[in-house]
């Protein structure tokens, strides 16, 4: 579309706005009638570890949301010389799991606990046994039940328990709902009904009954909604939260909020059965939409739901690019010491390309990028570790390749579980920051998973663009038109990325790297034990 056509669409509100609250960055994207990004804005933030708990305060959440929205509005004004006063629809996504608990008066009883917190082992184990369904430590219900086990006194006042995406949506619309995909990271859902599994709700409520709480679990959780369902509109109060200047008007329809995994499914056209994607940013996860239920239960594979309620298998790693970014900062300081002034993005691009010159197995190096715990390898906490033997070849290329391999290593472990059941994947789509440098992340992911990998030009837009597409679907799909068909025919028909077929030398090199990675895990465990927090 031309600039003038987009300007007219923005003035008319023939647009959709998506925002995602990621772990280190909030991103907002405005799309026009052709579904392509027309403007964007972002805001950097980071979690804090307070008393051993990774969290963000409510004040930080809203300061970030407002700053991100303002950056988007400024970009609209700069590009099109018109203010951003409305949109045809909106949608909000956020990092999944964790949770926030509120009292009957709306007060925050339990500050936001993020997915990074590996502090719920007893709760996760007890519910996994009770349900015969794997409940990871990061899941919302694990955090709530851990509070029960710890006899937290505030539970007597509990009235609403939700995710970060559900919280933002609630404050903007007044509706206590969330997308079915986001809900599936709180508590197991039934794909046939797109609702929480009643048998498991009953089992846990029965277990809680002797404690005498005045609430039932079902009453605490947000109502799950499938893609396209009515989730409310931006209220006057919500509009002021989003834009205190009063320029952006209330009344905009807001689609069901979703978790980052589901926004990533949409952003990569991975909603239909047999399709999948890998989102790689602060954390990394692979999501495969299943055409049949899994026969076994695997600690490294979590079962969630797509935005339409379909069964998906998720392999999630808590750690991905944070340690890579820290090393990039080190090299940036070095460059500036020598009088050079590259930007962090320019330097990271150059370093990523240098990784292509590394040896297929990283020259004997092995790196653990664990700043947080990593359930995929059985660690409740993490410490970054770089190892090499006397024969290890410490070159810049090998080091950078080891960084990228380590970002994808746990994905390999999860995919091995699925391969043991005969699950096959025709292709994976990559999105997120790891894939911004063309031909690098894509190539190494293909080697790690041993499948062809596509990366679209919109990969850098990530979940914010996916959320804008969900918002567009909510307001513009034909009656009975499935989300998968809408994406295939209206959005992605002109986007035909060529998949990168894994190179045999890379596959063999990654396999050798993984052998060292698994063999040296006791060193990582020792680092956690010997180097405590603080």
Residue 455: pLDDT above 90? no
Cα(91)–Cα(101) distance, integer angstroms: 22
pLDDT at 188: 96
State the chain's mean pLDDT as an integer.
93
Q: What angle do CA 481, 485, 489 make, to 5 degrees?
A: 115
Q: Residues 91, 196, 429, 42: what is their CA dihedral angle, to the nearest 10 degrees?
A: 30
Long-range contacts of 520-529 (CB under 8 A, 24+ apart): 520/366, 520/387, 521/377, 523/385, 523/387, 524/368, 524/370, 524/377, 524/379, 524/382, 524/383, 524/385, 525/379, 527/383, 527/385, 528/379, 528/380, 528/381, 528/382, 528/383
Angle between helices 322-337 and 396-419 (to 10 degrees): 170
CATH of the domain at 393: 3.30.420.40
pLDDT at 362: 98
Per DSSP, the three-state class of 311 is strand
pLDDT at 479: 94
Average pLDDT over residues 11-24: 96
In a domain, 404, yes or no: yes
In a domain, 332, yes or no: yes
Per DSSP, the three-state class of 37 is strand
Closest CA to 463 of 247, 206, 259: 259
pLDDT at 294: 84
Closest CA to 94 of 41, 39, 166: 166
In a domain, 478, yes or no: no
pLDDT tens, position by position, 214-246: 999 999 999 999 999 999 999 999 999 999 999
pLDDT tens, position by position, 363-373: 999 999 999 89
In a domain, 137, yes or no: no
In a domain, 399, yes or no: yes
pLDDT at 421: 85
Q: How confident is the model at residue 406 (pLDDT cuts 50, 70, 90)?
A: very high
pLDDT at 117: 86
In a domain, 510, yes or no: yes
The answer to whether 468 and 16 are in contact (CB under 8 A) is: yes
Share of the chain above pLDDT 70, in %: 98
In a domain, 313, yes or no: yes
pLDDT tens, position by position, 239-269: 999 999 999 999 999 999 999 989 988 988 8
pLDDT at 458: 56
In a domain, 322, yes or no: yes
**How many domains is the chain partitioned into structurally?**
1
Cα(367)–Cα(502) distance, integer angstroms: 22
Q: Domain span at residue 409?
A: 269-455+503-534
Cα(41)–Cα(74) distance, integer angstroms: 8
Residue 414: pLDDT above 90? no
Q: Residues 189, 194, 198, 199: what is their CA dihedral angle, to the nearest 10 degrees?
A: -50
pLDDT tens, position by position, 156-194: 999 999 999 999 999 999 999 999 999 999 999 998 899
Cα(208)–Cα(189) distance, integer angstroms: 20
């Amino acid at each position: 579309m031309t600039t003038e056509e987009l300007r007219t669409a923005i003035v008319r509100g023939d647009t959709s706005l998506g925002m995602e609250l990621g772990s280190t960055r909030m991103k907002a994207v405005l799309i026009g009638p052709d579904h392509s990004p027309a403007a964007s804005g972002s805001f950097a933030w980071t979690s804090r570890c307070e008393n051993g708990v990774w969290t963000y305060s409510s004040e930080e959440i809203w300061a970030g949301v407002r700053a991100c929205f303002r950056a988007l509005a400024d970009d609209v004004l700069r590009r099109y010389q018109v203010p951003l006063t409305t949109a045809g629809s909106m949608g909000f996504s956020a990092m999944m799991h964790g949770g926030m608990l509120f009292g009957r008066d709306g007060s925050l009883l339990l500050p936001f606990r993020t997915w990074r917190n590996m502090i719920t082992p007893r709760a996760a184990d007890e519910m996994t046994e009770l349900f015969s369904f794997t409940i990871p430590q990061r899941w919302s219900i694990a955090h709530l039940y851990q509070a029960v086990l710890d006899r937290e006194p505030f539970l007597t006042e509990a009235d609403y328990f939700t995710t970060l995406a559900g919280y933002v949506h609630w404050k903007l619309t007044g509706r206590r709902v969330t997308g079915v995909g986001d809900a599936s990271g709180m508590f197991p859902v039934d794909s046939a009904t797109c609702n929480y599994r009643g048998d498991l709700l009953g089992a846990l409520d029965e277990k809680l009954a002797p404690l005498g709480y005045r609430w039932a679990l079902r009453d605490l959780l947000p109502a799950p909604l499938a893609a396209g369902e009515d989730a409310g509109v931006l209220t006057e109060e919500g509009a002021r939260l989003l834009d205190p200047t009063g320029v952006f008007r209330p009344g905009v329809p807001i689609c069901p909020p979703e978790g980052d995994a589901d926004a990533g499914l949409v952003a990569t056209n991975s909603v239909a059965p047999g399709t999948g994607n890998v989102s790689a940013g602060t954390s990394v996860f692979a999501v495969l939409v299943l055409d049949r239920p899994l026969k076994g239960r695997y600690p490294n594979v979590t079962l969630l739901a797509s935005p339409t309620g379909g069964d998906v298998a998720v392999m999630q790693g808590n750690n991905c690019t944070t340690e890579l970014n820290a090393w990039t900062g080190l090299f940036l300081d070095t460059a500036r010491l020598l009088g050079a002034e590259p930007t962090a993005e320019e330097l990271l691009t150059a370093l990523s390309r240098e990784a292509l010159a590394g040896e297929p197995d990283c020259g004997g190096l092995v790196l653990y990028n664990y700043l947080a715990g990593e359930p995929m390898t059985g660690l409740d906490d993490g410490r970054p570790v770089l190892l090499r033997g006397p024969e290890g070849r410490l070159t810049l290329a090998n080091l950078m390749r080891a960084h990228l391999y380590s970002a994808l290593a746990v994905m390999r472990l999860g995919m091995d579980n699925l391969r043991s059941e005969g699950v096959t994947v025709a292709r994976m789509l990559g999105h997120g920051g790891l894939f911004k440098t063309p031909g690098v992340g894509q190539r190494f992911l293909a080697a790690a998973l041993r499948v062809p990998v596509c990366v679209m030009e919109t990969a850098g837009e990530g979940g914010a663009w996916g959320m804008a597409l969900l918002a567009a679907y909510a307001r513009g799909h034909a009656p009975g038109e499935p989300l998968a068909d809408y994406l295939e025919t209206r959005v992605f028909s002109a986007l035909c990325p060529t998949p990168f077929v894994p190179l045999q030398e890379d596959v063999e090199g990654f396999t050798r790297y993984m052998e060292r990675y698994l063999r040296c895990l006791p060193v990582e465990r020792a680092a956690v034990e010997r180097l405590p927090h603080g």
